[in-house]
Structures are given as C-alpha cells and as structure tokens.
Copies of this chain bind each other. A is one copy, B any other.
Amino acid sequence: MKSAKPIQNDINRESEEIKQLVSKFRSLNIQITPQRLVIASALTGTEKHLSVEDIHQIVRKKNSKIGLATVYRTLNLLKGKGLIEEHRFNDEFSRYELHTESHHDHLICIECETVIEFDQPVIEHLQDLAAAEKNFTIVSHRLQIYGICENCATANKKREKNPISP
C-alpha cells in the first residue's frame, strides 16, 4: 500500500502528539485526564500565542463540557511544570505558547497584532552584563518590541498612494 490519505495523516499526527503528551505528563507527575490532554494539545497543535478564551473555544470543539475554570487551572498547572509559557502583550490578558528549549523574544505588530518571534543571543549577553553591574542575578527576562510589521507597512503605503477618501 502507498501513503495514507491526508485526513488519516492528521489523525496520526494528533494521536502521535497525544502519545508524547502522555509520556511528558507521566515524567512530570501530572495526572492524566482527557481535559488536560485536549488543552495541552491545543497548544502543541499551533505556533500561535493563544488566549485563554481561544483555548477554551478550541477545546470545546472536542469536548463541549470543558469549563473555563478547568482551562485556567490546567494552564496554571502546565505553566508551573514548565511545559508552557505565559505572555502579556500590550497590557492585555494572558496568552500562552508551548515552552521551547531556545529562549526567544517577540516583535508585536500594533496594527494587526501579529507576533513574530526572534532570537538575539548578543542581547542576552548584554543583559547579563547590565545585571552583573548591579549585582543582580537573572532568573528570567521578557523583551517585547512593539511596532509595525512588514505587511502592514506595505498596506499603509498602498493606501497612501491610492487614497479612498481624499
């Protein structure tokens, strides 16, 4: 037989992710429940930074009875175990993403709210220097840059050339 159908691949990917989550949970001493697996897989299934409400919506499509409180409790648990990271952009509510080995920072577009991740090891090094100067021991850090992304900048230029209202 040849390769499976696309839909089958999706199911395979998903069940593969669930398997990995189960072993991750075991190794971290997290009790396994369907709710927790569905919530965690909402984050493994995307590269976006999801709000609690986003996650609640996604999760309800698979198990319509999951309550918002369970989503909050689970996210706090996973955060405590280091599986996911919490962010606050633009002083809004919390957003979550999977924790990855390599630390990265964020460029946030103030027009379309897109989040671009970037990595600047030299900046990290300079932070260490700045902290050392004040005898400060770094535990973690957060760097957020706000501005206009490439797409919005291009769109803005077009609008200037072809103004709808003069």
Contacts and interface: CB of A to CB of B under 8 A. Distances in A.
Contact of A141 (B135, B144, B149): B144
B127 A126 contact: no
A135 B110 contact: no
A118 to B, nearest CB: 5
Contacts of A153: 135, 137
Contact of A107 (B86, B88, B136): B136
A129 to B, nearest CB: 8
Interface string A84-106: 00101001001000000000000
Contact of A147 (B110, B140, B150): B140
A122 interface: yes
Q: How many copies does the complex hold?
A: 2
A114 to B, nearest CB: 10
Could you say which interface size class chain A belongs to?
Answer: 35 or more
A123 B116 contact: no
B147 A137 contact: yes
A91 B91 contact: no
Interface of A: 86, 88, 91, 94, 107, 109-110, 116, 118, 120, 122-123, 126-127, 129-131, 133-150, 153
> 7 closest Cβ contacts across the A-B interface?
A135-B150, A139-B147, A141-B145, A138-B147, A137-B148, A143-B143, A137-B147
